[in-house]
Amino acid sequence: MFIQVEDTPNPNSLKFFPGQKVLEKGTMDFPNPKSALKCSPLAEAIFKIDGVKSVFFGADYITVSKADDEIDWKVLKPEIFASIMDFFGTGLPVLRENAQENINSDTTDTNEENETVAMILELIDTRIRPTVQEDGGDVKFMGFENGVVKLKLQGACTSCPSSIVTLKNGIQNMLQFYIPEVMKVEQVMDEVDKQAQSEFEKFEKNLDDKPK
């Protein structure tokens, strides 16, 4: 197996291409090790590597984000290569059966869906998502209320220094151009993200508190 590696706009995230399908459809985000438990043996294996912060699956790639700038990719990459190669050598499915429901796809309650939301979803799917996925991440529609579009950035985009600029200058401008009802775009976190952020902050604090 020859695994290709591609940089992303986020210096702490890399895309790994195993040369075969990762997901049949959609994307899947694992912001912390707990989110991978009982969902994906591949993600679990990658999380066992010290320094890995999050894992993200696309159709034919795996985005791995490291915890911080201090961790060297030269150390991490060989371990990630080994984990990916060992996993695909087993022939096991990337996702367990009960994990299929967690695959990202933008759906809304048909009773609440209106023309504006339908237009937002179409623009996300056709104009925004392909570009974001090229950068090793994804964008998930979380709601539209009082002129505010709520989006969740995933994968390499989650902690990318330029993600807020992308959100405001790129996504917001495009949605406002096509849809006058859109006043602004906000990035939101779900409970899993908040928990992951809290755990990561505790981890960093413990490191800082250690005697040097």
CATH of residue 51: 3.30.1370.70
Domain with 125 in it: 105-191
Domain termination site, one of 79, 101, 123: 101
Nearest to 31 by CA among 191, 208, 206: 191
> Does residue 142 share a domain with residue 53?
no
Query: Is 70 part of any domain?
Result: yes
Query: Is 96 part of any domain?
Result: yes
Q: Kindly report whether the global pTM for this prediction surpasses the value 0.85.
A: no
The structural domain count of the chain equals 2
**Token output for 204:** 């960093």
Query: Is 212 part of any domain?
Result: no
Query: Is 198 part of any domain?
Result: no
* Residue that has been written with the tokens 């950068």 in this structure: 135
Handedness of CA 190, 194, 200, 201 (dihedral sign): positive
Domain termination site, one of 70, 101, 132: 101
> Does residue 152 share a domain with residue 90?
no
Domain termination site, one of 84, 101, 118: 101
Q: Tell me the pLDDT tens digit for each residue of 67-80.
A: 888 899 999 999 99
Phi and psi at residue 23, in whole multiples of 5°?
-125, 145
> Does residue 75 share a domain with residue 12?
yes
Give SS3 for 84.
helix
Q: Tell me the pLDDT tens digit for each residue of 90-137.
A: 998 999 877 665 565 544 443 345 888 999 999 998 888 888 888 888
* Residue that has been written with the tokens 């998930």 in this structure: 140
